[in-house]
Amino acid sequence: MKHDSLTILKFGALGDVVRTSYFVEPLVRKYNIKNVTWITKPQSFDLLRFNPYINNIVRFGIDEPPLSSDLIVSLDDEFESVSLSSKISHKHIIGSVLTEQNISYTDSAQEWFDMGLLSKYGKAQADRLKKINQRSHAEIFSAMLGVDTVQPCFYGNNYLEEQALQGRNSKKFVLGINCFAGARWKSKEMPKSELTKLLDLLKADLHGKFGKDFQIWIFADAQSLPRASTISIDSEFVKICDTGRSVLDFAAQIKACDFIISTDSLGLHLAIAQKIPNISFYAPTSAAEIDTFGTGTKLISTSPDYCSYSVDADNSSITAERILAYFS
């Protein structure tokens, strides 16, 4: 089958944009696509801007979307995205669709959307399906989009990557910790007491392995910097890295690390995409859904409400000792 043009609608979240971008090249090769347009929110633009397989990036609310496309891949469940996709003339569509002002999804995309807010079975069953699911995002999307294999990839800014490398001592082992979460998913965030304990344990462990030739970078954006600043740190070995300058700067800092410890978030997907070894931990979200492509280890909550998608899921079993055991 041949499609001259492809339009992808994926607005967010940022980590989802990163892992969905893995599929652009396989789709281009499978369908011999000549022109790829990606419609997204402005804050996702930089995550896609250097991808050589994307010809046009449409920033929702700023740029004009295409009038037509041979193939549309519609991956969001919000009305603003789905209603936009319905206005683009097309030959074939995969994903969420608008029918008489109701949002539904194509049969080809049911494995994914059955577990989400659009599920035709209702939220309770969607949550149950998500909890018992053992297939990763990559496996589900490969089947949905009809591609055989997908590999993580990320196209960053070379200048920022060089700057990040200059900001570290090439002889030192650099461990990045991406442990903060936004206001919506507080249960993804390590409690301050556990983070402080983890830093102490990691410093002792790394000192035994590398002497003084190591550094720990704690990533924090504008929202989490105040919390990060309250952590008692040893400035000789630990520094706070401001990730709020730009998402590409954050990606470059991730790439400059030798190892990453992260929540299920943008930092983790940037580590996976750039093949940085990692440990990730999970309380409200599904570990099965995340495919690390052999780059990392998953630390899963042992609490009964694991994978509940609850903002106050019990994350008390994600302890410093467990993380250190996986790291060591």
pLDDT by residue (tens digit) across 212-268? 999 999 999 888 888 888 887 778 899 999 888 899 999 999 999 999 999 878 999
pLDDT of residue 183: 64
Return the CATH number of the domain spanning residue range 5-145: 3.40.50
Instruction: Report the C-alpha dihedral over residues 318, 321, 325, 328, rounded to 10 degrees.
Output: 120
CATH 3.40.50.720 holds for 158-327: no
- Give the pLDDT confidence of 195-218 residue by residue, as tens digits: 999 999 999 999 999 999 999 999
- Rounded average pLDDT over 7-28: 96
| Angle, helices 247-255/266-273, rounded to nearest 10 degrees | 50
- Show the tokens assigned to 315: 């994350």
The C-alpha atoms of residue 95 and residue 48 are separated, in whole angstroms, by: 20
- Show the tokens assigned to 305: 């409400």
With contact defined as beta carbons under 8 Å apart, do 274 and 191 qualify? no
- Show the tokens assigned to 2: 């041949």
pLDDT of residue 110: 97
Task: Determine which of 14-18, 92-96, 99-103, 129-133 has the lowest per-residue pLDDT on average.
Answer: 99-103
Beta bridge partners of residue 35, listed in sequence order: 5
Q: Sorting pLDDT into bands at 50, 70 and 90, what band is 8? A: very high
Among residues 79, 21, 14, 15, the alpha carbon closest in space to that of 41 is found at: 14
- Give the pLDDT confidence of 270-316 residue by residue, as tens digits: 999 999 999 999 998 899 999 999 999 999 999 998 988 777 889 89
pLDDT at residue 182 tops 90: no
Give residue 128's identity as a one-letter amino acid code.
R
- Give the pLDDT confidence of 22-76 residue by residue, as tens digits: 999 999 999 999 999 999 999 999 999 999 999 999 999 999 999 999 999 999 9
For the chain, the average pLDDT equals 93
Locate CATH 3.40.50.2000 in the chain: 158-327
- Give the pLDDT confidence of 74-123 residue by residue, as tens digits: 999 999 999 999 999 999 999 999 988 789 999 999 999 999 989 999 98
pLDDT at residue 131 tops 80: yes
Which of 142 and 12 is assigned the larger pLDDT?
142
- Rounded average pLDDT over 163-189: 85
pLDDT at residue 163 tops 70: yes
